[in-house]
Amino acid sequence: MKDKDKVNIIIPAIKLDEELMKCLKELNKLTYLNFFVTVALDYKPKNKIPKLKYKVNKLVVGKINMSKKRNIAAKKFNSKYIAFIDSDAYPNKNWLKLAIKYLKKKKGEVVGGPGIPFNNQNYSEKICYFSKRSKFVTGYLNFRKYKATKRYCDWLESCNLIMGKKFFLKYGGMDSARYTGEDKEFFERVRKKNPKLKVFYSPDLFIYHRERRFIGFLLQRSCFGMDFINLIKFNVGLKGLQPVLPVFIFIILFIIMFSNIATNLKLIILSSSFALGSGVIFLEIRKYIKSFKDIVLTIITIGLANLSFAAGSLIALIGLKKMLANKFYSYSRWNK
């Protein structure tokens, strides 16, 4: 195998914990062998990494965000390709083999695939995954949560990206000031300079990604809500305006609740709205959820996720984003 095709798999993490160790051990199973791994950590590891088939470079970079960690790791070591994956995830064994094949065939300048849940996820994680798979949470980008058909898309998540190192650095890497939305911002910045950019999604490039549990999931949605203005996309029609919808609905419900309308009429309006919304969500999620209990809990979780998103949006509008965004995101990741 030619050394010029070497891949640097970059994993930003806080510390060398069990999840990161799981990721490193699973990378040992990759069928593409011409790679090394770079882990960018907040803290110097106290425990040792077991012997693996590949080289692991450890960078202790302090308490900086994941975007900056990825940029440092990409610049530090020589490789033709770079692959990004999260510390709480691991790929299928053919992930790199197929990704490099697609890049060489010029399927796209950037390739990636979906993040599907761990096989041993608990019940809370399962319901949160079902919720994220719904268009009422992740919108027209929900195909990234399951093995959908191959397609070209606007952007892919930074937990599962493979591209040329020169390509990544040519466009300045990821915005090191961003805590969330860094992947979307990167693709939009690239597309301004390169309107013909091809981003290729393929289901066989799937990774297993641990889902957040209930509280962590809601905190994550709040963080995304704080960035709702940047999530709006005018070039994809009405579906690109979905980030505005939770805020709009929240404001309407708030006005109804505190208006001078009679209490009985308020209850009728609110209960009718809830029933209608639940019915529409039910029609969508019944396609991939079979258990009635799971359907009910997923509908409730989707509703709370949208309320959390709306709350985050309002936090941003009143100017508290800088104070709260990083804290919310950190707490969401550590939720057990």
Is residue 140 classed as helix, strand or coil in its secondary structure? helix
Q: Retrieve residue 252's tokens.
A: 């309407």
Backbone angles phi, psi at 57, to 5 degrees: -95, 125
Counting Cα atoms < 13 Å in the Cβ hemisphere of 2 gives 5
Q: What is the pLDDT of residue 329?
A: 78
Domain ranges in the chain are: 3-113+156-211, 229-334
12-32 mean pLDDT: 95
- Evaluate if residue 17 carries a pLDDT over 60: yes
Residue range 161-217, pLDDT digits in tens: 999 999 999 999 999 888 778 999 999 999 999 999 999 999 999 999 999 999 999
Mean pLDDT score of the chain: 92
Cα–Cα distance measured from residue 132 to residue 139, given in angstroms and rounded to the nearest whole number: 9
Q: What is the pLDDT of residue 108?
A: 97
Cα–Cα distance measured from residue 13 to residue 16, given in angstroms and rounded to the nearest whole number: 7
Burial class (CB in 10 A: 0-12, 13-18, 19+), 111: buried
Closest-CA residue to 246 (of 262, 232, 258): 232
83-100 mean pLDDT: 97
Please state, as a whole number, how many other Cβ atoms lie within 10 Å of the Cβ of residue 4. 9
Residue range 230-243, pLDDT digits in tens: 777 777 667 777 88
Task: Evaluate whether 200 touches 101 at the Cβ level (below 8 Å).
Answer: no
Burial readout 254-266 (b: 16 or more C-beta within 10 A, e: otherwise)? eeeeeeeeeeeee
Q: What is the pLDDT of residue 177?
A: 85
Please state, as a whole number, how many other Cβ atoms lie within 10 Å of the Cβ of residue 204. 15
Query: What architecture is domain 3-113+156-211?
Result: Alpha-Beta Complex (3.90)
- Evaluate if residue 151 carries a pLDDT over 90: yes
Instruction: Band the pLDDT of 49: cuts 50, 70, 90.
Output: confident
Task: Evaluate whether 246 touches 317 at the Cβ level (below 8 Å).
Answer: no
Is residue 187 classed as helix, strand or coil in its secondary structure? helix
Q: Retrieve residue 87's tokens.
A: 């510390």
Residues of the chain with pLDDT > 90, as a percent, come to: 72
- Evaluate if residue 335 carries a pLDDT over 70: no
Cα–Cα distance measured from residue 166 to residue 168, given in angstroms and rounded to the nearest whole number: 5
Cα–Cα distance measured from residue 235 to residue 231, given in angstroms and rounded to the nearest whole number: 12
Residues of the chain with pLDDT > 70, as a percent, come to: 97
Residue range 265-308, pLDDT digits in tens: 989 998 999 999 999 999 999 999 999 999 999 999 999 999 99
Write down the H helix ranges in the chain. Answer: 18-27, 66-76, 95-104, 123-133, 135-138, 165-170, 182-193, 214-226, 228-231, 245-257, 263-285, 292-317, 321-334
Residue range 224-270, pLDDT digits in tens: 999 887 777 777 667 777 888 888 888 898 898 888 889 899 899 98
Q: What is the pLDDT of residue 228?
A: 82
Containing H/E element for 35? strand 35-41
More reliable by pLDDT, 213 or 334? 213
Q: Retrieve residue 89's tokens.
A: 């995830």
Q: What is the pLDDT of residue 1?
A: 46
Q: What is the pLDDT of residue 236?
A: 66
Containing H/E element for 163? strand 160-164
Q: What is the pLDDT of residue 336?
A: 52
2-26 mean pLDDT: 91
Closest-CA residue to 158 (of 123, 191, 115): 115
Instruction: Band the pLDDT of 333: cuts 50, 70, 90.
Output: confident
